[in-house]
Amino acid sequence: MLINAQDISVRISDKKLIESISCNAAQGDYLCIVGPNGSGKSTFLKTLIAILPIHSGKLMIDGQSISQYRHKKLARLISYVPQNGGNHLTFIVDDYVRMARYSHHHVFSEWQTHDNEVVENALNITECQAFRYRKMSTLSGGECQRVMIAAALAQDTPVLVLDEPTAFLDPHHQVAVHQLIRKLNQQHNKTIIEVTHDINHAAQHSKHVLALLDGKCLWHGPAEQFLNAERLQQLYQQAFVFAKHPHHDRLIAVADES
């Protein structure tokens, strides 16, 4: 098991952000984390990359407790795509993506041809070649998001952790990013852990869904069983109606506004 969380809790000055959450992810898994705002989704992600320390419980990454990892070693296993798009950064795209190779180098090591290949590959998969020499602050939201994913790919890790990667994108770019993540999961066998508000995306594309409410696990199970009227009502305090997708038999959920 690549990631194994048992009963983990996180507190910041006596405030419980998440409480006894357990979940697993094996190589090639695709886990979506859903839940209302403030339910602890991002907090959970941040424990995986050791930005936030866990207060109790056990978090094993590749068979070793996370507290025993040096940041650099952890960064060779897990890469992270943060929530905001990076539009505030003034780096050149190319520099920013190259910087992600940090964990594979030490202070005197030379830039290798392998590094170049990984960076080129990351820029190709995410289709960032067209603007690789531009400043990130001049890019559109969708382009910037792709650059953030490209940088995480250049880190060349088996696990990719994404925090709402499609939050600010138009439908076309949402689909493009979803397809990209699926490709990474299916063709490159990357383990994906993604926080999303798009419940249909979670139900259709991921393998497992973890639903969080008020920092606790509400439901954890296979993605195809996730869409359930009662569960969604409880999770979001919102009624949903369901319909069959015209192209395949899976359900799609729509928030009931009536």
Partner 1 sequence: MSIKLKLIALSLFTILVVIISPWLDFSAAGSADIQQMIIYELRIPRVLFAFTAGCGLALCGMVFQAMFRNPLATPFTLGVASGASLGAAISVYTGISFTILGLSATSLSAFAGALIAISFVYSISRFRFGFSGETLLLTGVAISFFFSSLILFIQYLSNVADSFQIIRWLMGSLTVVGYQELKQLLPFVTLTAVVIIYLSRELNLLMAGDEIATSRGVSVKYVRYALFFVTSLCVGAIVALCGPIGFVGMMVPHICRLIIGEDHRYLIPATLLFGGSFLVICDTLARLVIAPAELPVGVITTLLGGPFFLWLLMRYKSQH
- CA 234 – CA 221 distance, rounded (Å): 16
Nearer to partner 1, 85 or 213 (CB): 85
User: Any contact of residue 91 with partner 1 (CB under 8 A)?
Assistant: yes
Shortest Å, Cβ 56 to partner 1: 21
Q: Tell me the site size for partner 1, rule CB under 8 A.
A: 29
Nearer to partner 1, 21 or 152 (CB): 152
Shortest Å, Cβ 149 to partner 1: 13
User: Any contact of residue 92 with partner 1 (CB under 8 A)?
Assistant: yes
Nearer to partner 1, 70 or 172 (CB): 70
Nearer to partner 1, 1 or 99 (CB): 99
Nearer to partner 1, 12 or 239 (CB): 12
**Residues 26, 38, 64, 71: which binds partner 1 (CB under 8 A)?**
71
User: Any contact of residue 126 with partner 1 (CB under 8 A)?
Assistant: no
Give the footprint of partner 1 on this chain (CB under 8 A).
46, 49-51, 70-76, 78-80, 82, 86, 89-92, 95-96, 99-100, 102-103, 105, 107, 155
